[in-house]
Amino acid sequence: MYSYNAFDTAFVRERVAQFRGQVNRRIDGSLTEDEFKPLRLMNGLYLQLHAYMLRVAIPYGTLNSRQMDQLAMIADRWDKGYGHFTTRQNIQYNWPKLKDVPDILDALADVEMHAIQTSGNTIRNVTADHFAGAAADEIADPRPVAELLRQWSTDHPEFQFLPRKFKIAITGSPNDRAVTRAHDIGLRMVERDGVAGFEVLVGGGLGRTPMIGKVIRDFLPQEDLLPYVEAIVSVYNILGRRDNKYKARIKITVHENGIEEVRNQVEARFAELRAAFDGIDQKLLADIKTHFAPPAFKDAPVDAFDAHRAANPAFASWSDTNLTAHKNDQYAIVSVSVKKHGQTPGDATSDQMRVLAQIARDFGHDELRISHEQNVILPHVHKSDLPAVYQALRAADLATANIGLVSDIIACPGMDYCALATARSIPIAQQIATRFDELKLEHDIGPLKIKISGCINACGHHHVGHIGILGLDRAGVENYQITLGGDGTETASVGERAGPGFSADDIIPAIERLVLGYLDLREDADETFLQAYRRLGADPFKAILYPDQQKAA
Amino acid sequence: MAKAFTPKVVTANHLLEGDVIYMDVNQKWVRELHQAHLIEDEAQADAWLAVAAAQPWQVVGAYLADAKSSAVGPVPAHFREAFRAKGPSNYAHGKIEQDQVAA
Ligand code: HEM
Ligand code: SF4
């Protein structure tokens, strides 16, 4: 994986030293909160409901065991022994003390990590397919490009004060696991005449005005990527609205100006920029690529895997749900569920982090990933090692066999932590997962994505959940609105509102009714919730959610 | 007729800890809502908020939160303030933890 060069190291250390001075000046009163707030946000430090929160970037979701161990150390030493993995492939600490934050940032710098550009109107942490470099369906590993984008965008002088935050996601596979269509720029690798390039999407986003990204270029040669992305950001920097925060994202720019106009301006700017890029970016990319060379895969029999599957039904069930095909067929990609039924989605204890680090060292070529679905991935595990990996996970309460199922819920922090929330999301996720575990129907229900946000900002991606739940404040009471039919993959769509919201007490039974109702509606066990919804439309699902209304009508 | 004034407490986050704090009757900062001073009068509320805002080395983001009186002191008027007063619902962290330590 990518290692900092001397410049990166010096840059990150310098930023920590600056921030240490700023914190000291804040504490001794020489900086007011108004002066300090933008400075702390630039370093990933938020103030939430009960405490500060530090958001640490995990670039393209990739980390090694040493970094994971350090995240565990930080959780123990300066937080409450756990961390929260987010949909943006970050980790958040919910309880740091202001005076400790510079020390935490130094500890992060020790393992080449930081919290820069996790906030503010900048180009944020570039997110990537969490199976990058491993997936069988991948054309090429997108992470060198993600790293190139990160180096180019970090502290880019033209792009420190964009109209609004700017998020880029990238996938090296036509199957989109990085929600590229809900990002300001989405890059999806595709092949044309045997050559790999990018489909470039622009203007996707969730929040109060959800939009699916539009194709601005259907095929961009790889070597044109950086000038093209720079052209998009630069056109947005000028065209994007600064008069109204809610109309400032590029999705609105595209909506108001039309994709043709934006495309024309981008292409014109691209023509200028292309000439200015003299190939230095390609040299840099070639150098970065050497850091992402695949590990030295071993060649060994895989009989132990099949034998263990036959002998151990729990292992078989786990391997059915939590493994994905690897490009090397002796290997598998392991998705470790950080969503044990009843637990807070995405929270891992420091002990669990250390176990994951150890497994990565022992069996995983020292690689770990964080997925936007708030799980941890071991991208390269030889199949003969899977029984041992499973045992180690089980011992750490990390072997829940629920990846992609109803209890594998994305939930934002909601009103348990977030100062912007209008309702809680975590307890709703906990209760849904617990309820479906009791029903023992999860595996029959099959693939189903429930996503929960605690306010209209949509950090929990509810618009692209097959079932989305949005927590609102209705006259001083928590109220939950359901959306149906959302999809975050290459067939992306924004979910439709089902109808009036439900109280905190009624939302769990409503979801249960909806999912059990789907079991009656589906053609056969292979038709997923989303497929059934697309075949039948919203009406039968609404009828299940609102039985009384149907009777009255 | 002017709208009736909803009683308020002055609240903020502690600069160093981040913890939720309230102003008590002596204009000192306390950590429990029920120890806070319930302000029944609009002019007093504004004056007290100004006192809080003038202490940037101690507090962050001071504001007036609606509250109701009760036998044990002020109680929250809205669920957001109830969560601020109580701590998160998924773990016994924050205020819940401090209360356990104190008890
Ligand atoms: C608690 C601190 C947080 C704050 C203050 C916060 C704030 C916001 C705001 C204001 C937006 C809307 C931006 C816009 O539409 O212009 C937003 C969107 C978003 N945030 Fe957060 N958020 C927080 C936590 C999180 C967490 C924990 C995650 C990951 C689980 C996350 C991921 C996202 C995502 C994915 C979006 C929507 C996608 C988009 O930008 O269109 N945020 N956040
Ligand atoms: S969706 Fe709202 S409540 Fe949830 S984390 Fe984002 S801003 Fe906070």
Q: What residue ranges define each of the domains in chain A, with the CATH number in brackets?
A: 6-110 (3.90.480.20), 142-291 (3.30.413.10), 303-395 (3.90.480.20), 410-552 (3.30.413.10)
Would you kindly state where each structural domain of chain B is located, as residue ranges? Answer: 8-102
Q: A55-69, A114-128, A237-251, A296-310 — which is least confidently predicted?
A: A114-128
Instruction: Take atom 11 of ligand 1 and give the residue whose Cα is closest.
Output: A457
The C-alpha atoms of residue A231 and residue A221 are separated, in whole angstroms, by 15
Nearest CA in chain A to B94: A50
The set of residues, in sequence order, having a beta carbon less than 8 Å from that of A80 and lying 6+ positions away, is A94, A95, B91, B93
pLDDT tens digits for range A300-328 = 999 999 999 999 999 999 999 999 999 99
**Strand order, beta sheet including A52-57:** A45-47, A52-57, A90-93, A82-85, A347-349
The per-residue pLDDT of chain A, averaged, comes to: 92
Chain A interface disruption, residue of B6, B83, B100, most A CBs within 10 A: B83
Q: Is A417 on the interface with B (CB under 8 A)?
A: yes
**Ligand 1 atom showing the smallest separation from residue A346 Cα:** 30
pLDDT for A553: 42
pLDDT for A251: 93
ipTM of this complex prediction, to 2 decimal places: 0.91
pLDDT tens digits for range A227-249 = 999 999 999 988 988 888 888 89
A330-338: average pLDDT? 98
Q: A22-26, A128-132, A548-552, B2-6 — which is least confidently predicted?
A: A548-552
A330 lines ligand 1 (CB under 6 A): no
A511 lines ligand 2 (CB under 6 A): no
- Quote the tokens at residue A336: 């470790």
- Quote the tokens at residue A520: 């009656």
Choose between A389 and A6: higher pLDDT: A389
Amino acid residing at A408: D
3-class SS of residue A212 = coil
* Predicted TM-score of the model (pTM): 0.91
The pLDDT of residue B1 is above 60: no
The pLDDT of residue B73 is above 80: yes
pLDDT for A552: 45
Question: In terms of Cα–Cα distance, which of A318, A430, A426, A434 is closest to A378?
Answer: A318
pLDDT for A119: 61
A98 → closest Cβ in B15, B20, B95: B15
DSSP conformation letters of A404-424: TSTT--EE--GGGT-TT-SS-
Q: Is A28 on the interface with B (CB under 8 A)?
A: yes
Instruction: Count Cα neighbours of A511 within 13 Å in the Cβ-side half-sphere.
Output: 34
The pLDDT of residue A206 is above 70: yes
Question: In terms of Cα–Cα distance, which of B55, B89, B30, B13 is closest to A40?
Answer: B13
The C-alpha atoms of residue A451 and residue A210 are separated, in whole angstroms, by 14
The CA distance from B25 to the nearest CA of chain A, in Å, is 23
Confidence of residue B102 (pLDDT cuts 50, 70, 90): very low
pLDDT for B99: 63
With CB atoms and an 8 Å threshold, state whether A50 touches B15: no
pLDDT tens digits for range A145-161 = 988 988 888 777 777 77
B16 → closest Cβ in A98, A417, A473: A98
Q: A38-52, A109-123, A260-274, A389-403 — which is least confidently predicted?
A: A109-123
Q: Is A215 on the interface with B (CB under 8 A)?
A: no
pLDDT for B2: 58
Instruction: Count Cα neighbours of A102 within 13 Å in the Cβ-side half-sphere.
Output: 17
B54-80: average pLDDT? 94
